[in-house]
Amino acid sequence: MTAAVPVPDLLADNDLLQSVLEASLTALNLLRPLYGPGGELVDFSLDYLNPAGQRMVGLPARPGGSVGAHFPHAQANGLLAFYRRVFETGEPGQFDFHYQTAEINSFFLVAARRSGEVLVASILDSTNYHDRPALEQTLRQSQAREQAAREAAERERTLLEAVLAQAPVAIGIFQGDDQVVHQANGLLCALLGYPPAQLVGRPLLDGVPELRGKNFTKLMVEAARTGVPFRGQEAPAQLPQPDGQPATHYFNFVYQRLYNTRGGILGMLGMATDVTEQVLARHQVLALNEELAATNAALAASNEEFLTNNAALAHAQLQLQQLNHELEARVAERTQAAQQAQAAAEQRRRQLERLFEQVPAAICILAGPELVYELVNPGYQRLFPGRRLLGRPLLEALPELAGQPVWHSLRRVYETGQTHEEREMMIPMARHEGGPLEDFYLHYIQQARYDEQGRIDGLVVFALDITDQARARQESAALQAEVLATARRQAQEREAFYQVFEQTPAAIAFLRGPEHRLVYFNQAYQQLFPGRAMQGRTVAEMQPEAEAQGFVALLDGVYQSGKTFVGNELALTIEPADGSPAHTSYFNFTYQPYQENGHTIGLSVFAYDVTEQVLGRRQRAEVQAQLQAVFEQAPVAIGILQGTGYVVRVANASIGALWGLDPAEALGRPLFEVLPEVAKQGVRELLDGVRRTGTPFVAHELPIVLNRRGRPEKMYFNFVYQPIRRAEGSESAVAVVATDVSQQVAARQQVALANDELQAANQQLTRTNADLDNFIYTASHDLKAPITNIEGLLAALQEQLPPAVQHDELVQPLLRMMHDAIERFQKTIGHLTDISKLQQAHAQPTEAVDLAALVEDIRLDLAPALAAAGTRLFVDVARCPTLSFAPKNLRSILYNLLSNAIKYADPVRPPVVWLRCARTAGTVLLEVQDNGLGLTEAQQRQLFIMFQRLHSHVEGSGVGLYMVKKIVENAGGSIAVRSQPGEGSTFTVRLPG
């Protein structure tokens, strides 16, 4: 026999492996192959035994010698053959054997695996496992599985319920043709204006009667019928407010089906986002645009007025023409600038809408061949709280990884580009610099990252720490072994068993003979069948439903075969003896034969009622499926960031769309690796604050700069960072629910821009009016002397003409026309003088004016006109006994409005004029209404222009309403008109006070 090739001492420089071997509770052997003269493998050298192996066989740590020499029966029981097969094939295996000598008599289970030129064998004394009663072992295994499944389901249910409750959008689940509200989060209840107790469990229209007559439920029914989601944009709804008054809100909403994991329909998912502020902002933009257009029209009207005056007075002042040209140039320049600004704003808006459709994403990596930490997720950093990682090569930051499988797999992924995944990989690492090594159990994925030329320039690593679960399983196995050992000791005395059975919640019975006659049953078993006589009766007699459901046949099979039967969560329908309705329960149970002198004489029954667990698990599974469906199908961005490294644990389709990638690409990666540009924008500090304080963070319109198509762009978000706590109260994750409000912010910015443009237009209009005022003042004064001279010359001429000539049929009309022209010209100059004085008297002294007395004085002045036209005047000014105003100006306002109402009466009906006054919130409203001729829309636009006359059948100068408007505006008020041809007009004056 020749020695094998020397094997390096694996334990010399590996303290961690030495510690693992010494701490192991199972025997571990390191074996080297021994070959015969012909090169055949004949035996193995026993190089090393860990402490558990030493205790098992009574040999030192390095016993030397061969397996065959130390254990002569190893050839006969097949152990050596098993070792040779594993070493030669390289395939790991397990072998169950019995070894009996004067010192050893036990059953063993051995697992072997080849590692290079060394065979590693783990040996477990399975004697206890062979002797363990199947009844207790099956029960404990079932309970452990049930508890693990229950805890996992509860964790997922709590997580999904937290996301649903804390989402910043309204979410509801509706079922049935009547849209019964199955679930509704707090925001949906707040939007609808009703508490959850009034909504949940009721049809939607019963809970929110304000929605009757709207199309919301019809749209939901149609989406449920067709399976096609319906998306509503800016839909209005009248909903109650906290003060009980209804108000109009606007919503973007989605109706879509909810599916379970098998594709069945769970109900309808409804999600809504309140976009009232965005809609109102857009309406304000439209109003401002209309106001800007009105300003342009007023400016154009001023220009027409200026041209009219210029034509009338061109023969007197040539300077007016030059001023007019300058004014037209300014108006044209301002109009063109406003149009260009509007076009530029519209173009920017369209560009923003196109750009907002995508969200950029960047991936953080381990960069370069040395795998330098470029970005570390907080969840990753949490594994190593005392170690600096960023900017350091992997082996410099974590030198203990050198030579480990995880390092080799990283290198292979970097060199080949092939993604690598490991599940439940044990990796020894130190949490703190220089600290002791700890066993980490991880699920991880290693993936290559490529540059623009398609070359690998780094790696992306997703790791899930399952150390706690692995240790829990180990502790559970140890606990189960301890419990079963205790059960085995208790089985030594039957009376002790009976005492325990009477106190246990499990149903226990002993059956004797092939007919399965009850000889013992505990109180729990009796309670399953209340009111039935059981002692000494067969199962078929006592439980006829059990025979019909096949349980008696199972008992027969166990009795005849001698093999234990274990049932998990089997249904048993029990018909009560009192005739009440039958009910179905679920049991984990064991039928086990017991023997005397090698023959089966009866069966033991051990049953545990798991009805509550089964029904609870089904209910939890249904709730979990619904919550999962809500989460996955939500049209808002939802994600969960795990640990201090903020690893993306969960990401729905909406948040993937926001980031511009498939959610699967982000899962398991640090947030700041997925979005590196947000790391320096305060996001990390916000998340750290949420985890540190346990207080949610709510942001409204927070600006975030994201890289979009290679360049940074600012976006605005409403979002919530909500801590998710473990059962013991510590924060394990942060839920993120976000909504893009960039369009809303852009709309508000557009409003500000429109305000700036309107202010500039007003300033320009003010300057234009000032120029016009100066011209009017100059023209009215400069023309007085020339027209007076003309009047004097005409008088002198008339005196020099003989009477016969003056009364000539041709001369007399000419003289009269010349006098009329001079008189009209003098009136025009007088109006210009009045307007000039009005423009320069912006702040007339005010006093308390008795409005009723003033109106009565005006009525007396207009009495002849009222009588001539047959006009009835109705006055209602009781709510405004006094007004603080300049008396002369107030009289001028009312006199002009009332005299116009009388003059422009419609001959087809008796004329009626109303004068009213009211006060509202610091404003005085004066209203003059008539049933006269009325005005078209075109006439209304020209109504307040100087010298503009709209009806030629009555006398007038076209100055009265112009002066009224100037007086009102100089006082800080406004005047407006509502009119329809053939119906009449209403002038409304608003004055401060």
Contact assessment for residue 571 and residue 585, using Cβ atoms and an 8 Å cutoff: yes
pLDDT at 834: 60
pLDDT at 983: 93
**What are the strands of the beta sheet with 974-980, ordered from one edge?**
872-876, 912-920, 923-930, 984-992, 974-980
pLDDT at 711: 79
Give the list of residues 6+ apart from residue 162 with CB closer than 8 angstroms, or none.
722, 724, 735
Residue 248 has pLDDT above 90, yes or no: no
Residue reference for tokens 């068993």: 497
pLDDT digits 0-9 by tens, 954-984: 555 567 788 889 889 888 899 999 999 999 9
Chain-wide mean pLDDT for the chain?
79
Among 720, 705, 713, 716, CA closest to 745: 716
Residue 357 has pLDDT above 70, yes or no: no
Contact assessment for residue 880 and residue 919, using Cβ atoms and an 8 Å cutoff: yes
Cα distance between residue 365 and residue 371, in whole Å: 8
pLDDT at 764: 80
Residue 491 has pLDDT above 80, yes or no: no
First to last CA, the chain: 120
Neighbours of 542 (CB within 10 A): 18
Return the CATH number of the domain spanning residue range 15-131: 3.30.450.20
195: confidence class by pLDDT, cuts 50, 70, 90: confident
pLDDT at 793: 77
Contact assessment for residue 546 and residue 525, using Cβ atoms and an 8 Å cutoff: no
Is-same-fold flag (167-274; 847-992)? no
Residue 581 has pLDDT above 50, yes or no: yes
Give the list of residues 6+ apart from residue 298 with CB closer than 8 angstroms, or none.
765
Residue 148 has pLDDT above 90, yes or no: no
Q: Give the lowest-confidence range in 93-102, 299-308, 433-442, 923-932.
A: 299-308
CATH superfamily of 492-616: PAS domain (3.30.450.20)
Contact assessment for residue 446 and residue 419, using Cβ atoms and an 8 Å cutoff: yes
Neighbours of 111 (CB within 10 A): 15
Cα distance between residue 654 and residue 189, in whole Å: 23
pLDDT at 500: 66
Contact assessment for residue 836 and residue 877, using Cβ atoms and an 8 Å cutoff: no
pLDDT at 748: 87
Residue 138 has pLDDT above 60, yes or no: no
Given CATH 3.30.450.20, say whether it is the number of domain 167-274: yes
Domain ranges of the chain: 15-131, 167-274, 283-356+746-781, 492-616, 783-830, 847-992
75: confidence class by pLDDT, cuts 50, 70, 90: confident
Q: Give the lowest-confidence range in 25-34, 220-229, 457-466.
A: 457-466
Secondary structure, 3-state, 924-941 = EEEEEEECCCCCCHHHHH
pLDDT mean over 908-914 = 95
Give the list of residues 6+ apart from residue 990 with CB closer than 8 angstroms, or none.
923, 924, 925, 968, 973, 974, 975, 976
Conformation bin of residue 267: beta by default, left when phi > 0, alpha when psi is -120 to 50? left
365 Cα distance to chain centroid: 28
* H-type alpha helices, 512-610: 523-528, 539-542, 544-548, 551-561
CA distances from 202 to 219, 246, 267, 622, 980 (A): 19, 22, 14, 20, 51
pLDDT at 519: 86
812 Cα distance to chain centroid: 90
pTM of the model: 0.33
* H-type alpha helices, 840-984: 851-861, 863-869, 887-903, 937-942, 960-970
pLDDT at 359: 30
Q: Give the lowest-confidence range in 294-308, 534-548, 649-663.
A: 294-308
Residue 286 has pLDDT above 90, yes or no: no
Local structure of 288: helix, strand or coil: helix
pLDDT digits 0-9 by tens, 676-715: 888 888 888 988 999 888 899 998 888 988 886 677 888 8
Among 653, 711, 657, 646, CA closest to 683: 646
pLDDT at 316: 41
Kindly tell me the burial class for residue 58, based on how many C-beta atoms sit within 10 Å of its own C-beta (0-12, 13-18, 19 or more). exposed
pLDDT at 136: 43
pLDDT at 114: 94
pLDDT mean over 22-46 = 88
Give the list of residues 6+ apart from residue 243 with CB closer than 8 angstroms, or none.
none
**More confident position, 146 or 415:** 415
Cα distance between residue 901 and residue 75, in whole Å: 128
Residue 843 has pLDDT above 80, yes or no: no
Cα distance between residue 170 and residue 247, in whole Å: 18
pLDDT at 917: 96
Residue 3 has pLDDT above 50, yes or no: no
488: confidence class by pLDDT, cuts 50, 70, 90: low
Residue 440 has pLDDT above 90, yes or no: no
pLDDT at 836: 54
What kind of fold does domain 847-992 have according to CATH? Heat Shock Protein 90 (3.30.565)
**What are the strands of the beta sheet with 599-609, ordered from one edge?**
517-521, 507-512, 599-609, 583-596, 565-574
293: confidence class by pLDDT, cuts 50, 70, 90: low
pLDDT mean over 392-409 = 90
Q: Cα torsion at 686, 687, 689, 695 (round to 10°)?
A: 100
Contact assessment for residue 323 and residue 775, using Cβ atoms and an 8 Å cutoff: yes
Q: Give the lowest-confidence range in 242-246, 436-440, 505-509, 674-678.
A: 242-246
